[in-house]
Protein backbone atom coordinates (compact mmCIF):
# COMPACT_ATOMS: atom_id res chain seq x y z
CA UNK A 1 0.00 0.00 0.00
CA UNK A 2 1.46 3.38 -0.93
CA UNK A 3 1.28 6.63 0.99
CA UNK A 4 -1.64 8.04 -1.01
CA UNK A 5 -3.70 4.97 -0.38
CA UNK A 6 -2.91 5.13 3.32
CA UNK A 7 -3.87 8.79 3.37
CA UNK A 8 -7.23 7.88 1.85
CA UNK A 9 -7.76 5.13 4.39
CA UNK A 10 -6.91 7.41 7.28
CA UNK A 11 -9.06 10.28 5.96
CA UNK A 12 -11.98 7.97 5.44
CA UNK A 13 -11.61 6.61 8.96
CA UNK A 14 -11.37 10.08 10.47
CA UNK A 15 -14.53 11.21 8.66
CA UNK A 16 -16.46 8.17 9.78
CA UNK A 17 -15.35 8.78 13.36
CA UNK A 18 -16.28 12.47 13.03
CA UNK A 19 -19.75 11.60 11.90
CA UNK A 20 -20.27 9.06 14.62
CA UNK A 21 -18.97 11.24 17.43
CA UNK A 22 -21.00 14.30 16.40
CA UNK A 23 -24.11 12.13 16.38
CA UNK A 24 -23.33 11.28 19.99
CA UNK A 25 -22.43 14.86 20.96
CA UNK A 26 -20.45 17.78 19.58
CA UNK A 27 -18.40 17.65 22.75
CA UNK A 28 -17.66 13.95 22.51
CA UNK A 29 -14.01 13.32 21.63
CA UNK A 30 -12.79 9.98 20.32
CA UNK A 31 -9.18 8.91 20.12
CA UNK A 32 -8.04 6.52 17.40
CA UNK A 33 -5.46 3.88 18.25
CA UNK A 34 -4.06 2.41 15.03
CA UNK A 35 -3.58 -1.31 15.63
CA UNK A 36 -0.42 -2.16 13.74
CA UNK A 37 -0.23 -5.92 14.38
CA UNK A 38 -1.04 -6.71 10.72
CA UNK A 39 1.50 -4.39 9.19
CA UNK A 40 5.20 -3.58 9.07
CA UNK A 41 7.32 -0.75 10.41
CA UNK A 42 7.41 1.08 7.07
CA UNK A 43 3.61 1.41 7.09
CA UNK A 44 3.63 2.53 10.72
CA UNK A 45 6.11 5.23 9.79
CA UNK A 46 3.97 6.28 6.81
CA UNK A 47 0.88 6.57 8.97
CA UNK A 48 2.90 8.52 11.50
CA UNK A 49 3.94 10.95 8.75
CA UNK A 50 0.27 11.35 7.90
CA UNK A 51 -0.38 12.49 11.46
CA UNK A 52 -1.32 9.37 13.41
CA UNK A 53 0.38 9.25 16.82
CA UNK A 54 -1.19 6.40 18.83
CA UNK A 55 -0.41 2.82 17.81
CA UNK A 56 -1.39 -0.46 19.45
CA UNK A 57 0.20 -3.90 19.50
CA UNK A 58 -1.22 -7.11 20.90
CA UNK A 59 2.01 -9.02 21.52
CA UNK A 60 4.65 -7.91 23.99
CA UNK A 61 7.53 -9.05 21.83
CA UNK A 62 6.26 -7.21 18.76
CA UNK A 63 5.67 -4.13 20.86
CA UNK A 64 9.25 -4.22 22.13
CA UNK A 65 10.70 -4.72 18.66
CA UNK A 66 8.75 -1.85 17.18
CA UNK A 67 9.47 0.54 19.99
CA UNK A 68 13.14 -0.15 19.40
CA UNK A 69 13.01 0.13 15.61
CA UNK A 70 10.91 3.28 15.65
CA UNK A 71 12.44 4.91 18.69
CA UNK A 72 13.26 8.10 16.79
CA UNK A 73 9.52 8.77 16.40
CA UNK A 74 7.55 10.07 19.41
CA UNK A 75 4.84 7.44 18.99
CA UNK A 76 2.38 6.77 21.79
CA UNK A 77 2.38 2.99 22.18
CA UNK A 78 -0.58 1.01 23.50
CA UNK A 79 -0.61 -2.62 24.55
CA UNK A 80 -3.94 -4.29 23.74
CA UNK A 81 -3.32 -8.03 23.91
CA UNK A 82 -3.42 -10.80 26.44
CA UNK A 83 -0.53 -10.51 28.88
CA UNK A 84 1.06 -13.74 30.08
CA UNK A 85 2.56 -13.50 33.54
CA UNK A 86 6.01 -14.45 32.24
CA UNK A 87 5.96 -11.41 29.96
CA UNK A 88 5.21 -8.86 32.66
CA UNK A 89 8.80 -7.66 33.02
CA UNK A 90 9.11 -7.26 29.26
CA UNK A 91 6.00 -5.13 29.18
CA UNK A 92 7.26 -2.98 32.05
CA UNK A 93 10.49 -2.44 30.14
CA UNK A 94 8.52 -1.47 27.02
CA UNK A 95 6.69 1.08 29.19
CA UNK A 96 3.53 1.54 27.08
CA UNK A 97 1.48 4.72 27.31
CA UNK A 98 -1.58 2.60 28.15
CA UNK A 99 -2.20 -1.09 28.78
CA UNK A 100 -5.80 -1.93 27.73
CA UNK A 101 -6.01 -5.54 28.76
CA UNK A 102 -5.80 -6.01 32.49
CA UNK A 103 -8.17 -8.97 32.58
CA UNK A 104 -8.17 -10.31 36.15
CA UNK A 105 -7.40 -9.38 39.73
CA UNK A 106 -4.62 -12.01 39.73
CA UNK A 107 -2.92 -10.39 36.76
CA UNK A 108 -3.24 -6.98 38.41
CA UNK A 109 -1.64 -8.30 41.58
CA UNK A 110 1.22 -9.91 39.68
CA UNK A 111 1.76 -6.71 37.70
CA UNK A 112 1.60 -4.60 40.85
CA UNK A 113 4.31 -6.69 42.46
CA UNK A 114 6.72 -6.27 39.55
CA UNK A 115 5.93 -2.58 39.18
CA UNK A 116 6.63 -2.09 42.88
CA UNK A 117 9.92 -4.01 42.62
CA UNK A 118 10.99 -1.65 39.85
CA UNK A 119 9.48 1.39 41.49
CA UNK A 120 7.45 2.39 38.46
CA UNK A 121 3.83 2.89 37.39
CA UNK A 122 1.65 1.69 34.53
CA UNK A 123 -1.60 3.17 33.24
CA UNK A 124 -4.12 0.38 32.63
CA UNK A 125 -7.70 -0.33 31.63
CA UNK A 126 -9.75 -3.14 33.11
CA UNK A 127 -10.88 -5.47 30.33
CA UNK A 128 -14.49 -6.55 30.57
CA UNK A 129 -15.83 -9.72 28.99
CA UNK A 130 -19.01 -7.88 28.17
CA UNK A 131 -20.78 -10.68 26.31
CA UNK A 132 -19.51 -13.37 28.71
CA UNK A 133 -17.80 -15.34 25.94
CA UNK A 134 -15.76 -18.36 27.01
CA UNK A 135 -13.08 -17.64 24.42
CA UNK A 136 -12.57 -14.06 25.52
CA UNK A 137 -10.49 -12.56 28.28
CA UNK A 138 -11.83 -10.06 30.77
CA UNK A 139 -13.74 -9.85 34.01
CA UNK A 140 -17.42 -10.64 34.31
CA UNK A 141 -19.53 -7.47 33.96
CA UNK A 142 -21.24 -8.16 37.30
CA UNK A 143 -17.89 -8.21 39.08
CA UNK A 144 -16.18 -5.44 37.14
CA UNK A 145 -16.92 -2.58 39.50
CA UNK A 146 -15.78 -4.49 42.61
CA UNK A 147 -12.62 -5.70 40.90
CA UNK A 148 -11.85 -2.21 39.66
CA UNK A 149 -12.16 -0.80 43.18
CA UNK A 150 -10.14 -3.63 44.62
CA UNK A 151 -7.29 -3.03 42.14
CA UNK A 152 -7.41 0.68 42.90
CA UNK A 153 -7.14 -0.07 46.58
CA UNK A 154 -4.48 -2.76 46.53
CA UNK A 155 -2.34 -1.91 43.49
CA UNK A 156 -0.91 1.59 43.96
CA UNK A 157 1.56 1.16 41.10
CA UNK A 158 -1.27 0.61 38.61
CA UNK A 159 -3.04 3.80 37.53
CA UNK A 160 -6.47 2.64 36.46
CA UNK A 161 -7.88 4.89 33.78
CA UNK A 162 -11.07 3.08 32.76
CA UNK A 163 -12.36 0.07 30.89
CA UNK A 164 -11.90 -1.84 27.65
CA UNK A 165 -14.02 -4.39 25.86
CA UNK A 166 -14.13 -6.30 22.59
CA UNK A 167 -17.65 -6.29 21.16
CA UNK A 168 -19.65 -9.52 21.10
CA UNK A 169 -18.44 -11.86 18.37
CA UNK A 170 -21.58 -12.08 16.23
CA UNK A 171 -23.26 -10.50 13.21
CA UNK A 172 -26.27 -9.58 15.31
CA UNK A 173 -26.05 -5.89 15.82
CA UNK A 174 -28.28 -5.97 18.88
CA UNK A 175 -25.95 -8.33 20.73
CA UNK A 176 -22.90 -6.23 19.87
CA UNK A 177 -24.72 -3.10 20.99
CA UNK A 178 -25.70 -4.75 24.23
CA UNK A 179 -22.08 -5.64 24.97
CA UNK A 180 -21.05 -2.01 24.43
CA UNK A 181 -23.91 -0.72 26.55
CA UNK A 182 -23.01 -3.08 29.36
CA UNK A 183 -19.45 -1.79 29.30
CA UNK A 184 -20.47 1.86 29.09
CA UNK A 185 -22.73 1.50 32.14
CA UNK A 186 -19.80 0.20 34.14
CA UNK A 187 -17.62 3.05 32.83
CA UNK A 188 -20.24 5.61 33.87
CA UNK A 189 -20.27 4.29 37.42
CA UNK A 190 -16.49 4.32 37.56
CA UNK A 191 -16.17 7.91 36.39
CA UNK A 192 -16.53 9.06 39.97
CA UNK A 193 -13.49 6.90 40.70
CA UNK A 194 -11.52 8.83 38.10
CA UNK A 195 -12.10 6.58 35.07
CA UNK A 196 -11.87 8.63 31.89
CA UNK A 197 -11.20 6.10 29.12
CA UNK A 198 -13.76 3.74 27.58
CA UNK A 199 -11.89 1.74 24.94
CA UNK A 200 -14.29 -0.09 22.64
CA UNK A 201 -14.85 -0.45 18.92
CA UNK A 202 -12.72 -2.03 16.18
CA UNK A 203 -12.85 -1.85 12.36
CA UNK A 204 -16.18 -3.65 12.11
CA UNK A 205 -18.07 -1.96 14.90
CA UNK A 206 -16.51 1.36 15.93
CA UNK A 207 -19.47 3.49 14.84
CA UNK A 208 -21.78 1.48 17.05
CA UNK A 209 -19.26 1.65 19.89
CA UNK A 210 -19.05 5.44 19.60
CA UNK A 211 -22.85 5.66 19.58
CA UNK A 212 -22.72 3.76 22.88
CA UNK A 213 -20.18 6.18 24.38
CA UNK A 214 -16.73 4.87 23.45
CA UNK A 215 -14.01 7.51 23.55
CA UNK A 216 -11.14 5.32 22.32
CA UNK A 217 -11.29 2.97 19.34
CA UNK A 218 -8.72 0.38 18.27
CA UNK A 219 -8.66 0.11 14.49
CA UNK A 220 -6.44 -2.27 12.54
CA UNK A 221 -7.77 -3.79 9.34
CA UNK A 222 -9.66 -0.68 8.18
CA UNK A 223 -6.28 1.07 8.02
CA UNK A 224 -3.83 -1.62 7.07
CA UNK A 225 -5.58 -4.42 5.19
Q: Cβ of residue 106: shortest distance to ligand PLP, in angstroms?
A: 20
Give the residue with the Cβ less far from ligand PLP, 149 or 175: 175
Nearest residue to ligand PLP on Cβ basis:
220
Give the residue with the Cβ less far from ligand PLP, 87 or 218: 218
CA distance 203 to 25: 21
Give the residue with the Cβ less far from ligand PLP, 148 or 224: 224
Q: Cβ of residue 138: shortest distance to ligand PLP, in angstroms?
A: 10
Q: Cβ of residue 111: shortest distance to ligand PLP, in angstroms?
A: 18
CA distance 14 to 136: 28
CA distance 28 to 44: 27
Q: Cβ of residue 117: shortest distance to ligand PLP, in angstroms?
A: 27
Q: Which residues bind ligand PLP (CB under 6 A)?
A: 35, 37, 58, 80-81, 166, 202-204, 218-222
Q: Cβ of residue 180: shortest distance to ligand PLP, in angstroms?
A: 14
Give the residue with the Cβ less far from ligand PLP, 80 or 158: 80
What is the phi/psi pair of residue 162, to 5°? 155, -145
Give the residue with the Cβ less far from ligand PLP, 58 or 130: 58
Are the C-beta atoms of 103 and 138 separated by less than 8 Å? yes
Q: Would you tell me how many other CB atoms lie within 10 Å of the CB of residue 77?
A: 20
Are the C-beta atoms of 159 and 121 separated by less than 8 Å? yes
Q: Cβ of residue 31: shortest distance to ligand PLP, in angstroms?
A: 13
3-state secondary structure (DSSP) of residue 128: strand
Task: Give, for 160, the enclosing helix (H) or strand (E).
Answer: strand 158-165
Give the residue with the Cβ less far from ligand PLP, 58 or 112: 58
CA distance 173 to 76: 32
Are the C-beta atoms of 151 and 111 separated by less than 8 Å? no
Are the C-beta atoms of 47 and 6 separated by less than 8 Å? yes
Amino acid sequence: MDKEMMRERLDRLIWRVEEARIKRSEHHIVKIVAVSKYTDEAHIQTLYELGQRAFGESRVQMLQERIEKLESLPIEWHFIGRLQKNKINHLIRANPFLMHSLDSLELAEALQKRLADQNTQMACLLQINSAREATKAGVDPDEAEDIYLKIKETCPHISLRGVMTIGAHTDEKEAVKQSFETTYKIFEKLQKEGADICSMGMSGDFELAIACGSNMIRVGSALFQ
